[in-house]
Amino acid sequence: MFLLYRRLPSFARTTTTLLCKSMEPAITTTTATSSFGGGSSRLAALAQQLRQYKPPPSSSFDDAEETQTDQETAGKVVSQVGFQESIAPVSKDPERFKPKRAAVLICIFEGDDGDLRVILTKRSSKLSTHSGEVSLPGGKAEEDDKDDGMTATREAEEEIGLDPSLVDVVTSLEPFLSKHLLRVIPVIGILRDKTKFNPTPNPGEVEDVFDAPLEMFLKDENRRSEEREWMGEKYLIHYFDYRTGDKDYMIWGLTAGILIRAASVTYERPPAFIEQCPKFKYPKMVEKHTCMP
């Protein structure tokens, strides 16, 4: 584990230091003959496996414009309620709903004990909204971003100082819709040489940088769920409690949903608990201010 400011966890000991089918991602991946040398044979095999992953095709909103701006998050993707885009009713009629695009980085590396771990952040407690919540590095796409991989790695560099050249982007998952109907693309990247990453969080946005075992999001341990309802359909929000050193974190909502999916794809097995994806009935019209509860 690594945490900043208070102690040097496992990541730092070797340095000093966002349910159920969707579209094929718009992303550029590096090839096996790229400049990403080093790393274990396990990471090399994982990269090869993930490059073969292709989400089932569904509706597409490429190059879509925003119909609702989430002013509260200032373009950042935090732990809000979210669903995979294909199960939400707004995905069935792209002419009526064109969400803003965003991307988050699921950066996987090999821990000291050989387990696969993922980098997470805790938002600054000084922020006026969503302060102290756990999220994946990421944010809204900018005009100059050539693909989702660039969006995710650019945001990670801005938030935690992760050099994009250290990340081997291998695939992306199906899009998720956030609480405010922001279209979030989870991008999976592999950090082959963790010793080259010295987290430097942006103090205006990030309070802590830490890592957690990816497999924990498939286990029915330290997890609870809460039933909610939207548009007459019930669904579950998952909460994962995680303790590292003297700090406790709660990973929930959109972030938890994305990590459950990422872990399922990485380990090629479903979670040991019921996800309970809602089965929406398509409304006659999705209004401008429709959002998740």
Reported as a single tens digit per residue, the pLDDT across 27-47 is 444 433 344 456 789 999 999
In the prediction, which pLDDT does 155 show? 97
- DSSP H helices, the chain, are 10-13, 41-51, 148-160, 253-267
| Residue 83 scores a pLDDT above 80 | no
- Higher-confidence position of 203 and 2: 203
In the prediction, which pLDDT does 37 show? 54
Q: Among 5-9, 73-77, 86-90, where is mean pLDDT lowest?
A: 5-9
| pTM recorded for the entire structure | 0.75
Matching residue, tokens 């096996």: 32
For residue 22, give the nearest of 53, 50, 51, 47 by alpha carbon: 53
Query: Helix (H, G, I), strand (E, B), or coil: what is residue 192?
Result: coil
Contact between 62 and 99 (Cβ < 8 Å): no
Tell me how many degrees the CA angle 180-186-192 measures, rounded to the nearest 5.
150
Q: What is the mean pLDDT of residues 47-57?
A: 89
Predicted confidence (pLDDT) per residue in 190-231, tens digit: 999 999 999 999 999 999 999 999 999 999 999 999 998 876
Residue 182 pLDDT grade (very low, low, confident, very high; cuts 50, 70, 90): confident
Predicted confidence (pLDDT) per residue in 235-284, tens digit: 899 999 999 999 999 999 999 999 999 999 999 999 999 988 755 443 33
Strands 176-177 vs 134-135: parallel, antiparallel or unpaired: unpaired
**Using CB atoms within 10 A of its CB, is residue 245 exposed (0-12), middle (13-18) or buried (19+)?**
middle
Residues 139, 243: Cα–Cα separation, whole Å: 26
Q: Which residues pair with 135 in a beta bridge?
A: 121
Q: Which residues pair with 119 in a beta bridge?
A: 211
Q: What is the mean pLDDT of residues 100-110?
A: 96
Predicted confidence (pLDDT) per residue in 114-162, tens digit: 999 999 999 888 877 678 999 999 999 999 999 999 999 999 999 999 9
Contact between 169 and 189 (Cβ < 8 Å): yes
229 token code pair:
């309802």
Radius of gyration of the chain, Cα coordinates, nearest whole angstrom: 18
Q: Which residues pair with 172 in a beta bridge?
A: 187
For residue 69, give the nearest of 205, 180, 179 by alpha carbon: 180
In the prediction, which pLDDT does 279 show? 56
Residues 125, 132: Cα–Cα separation, whole Å: 5
In the prediction, which pLDDT does 99 show? 67
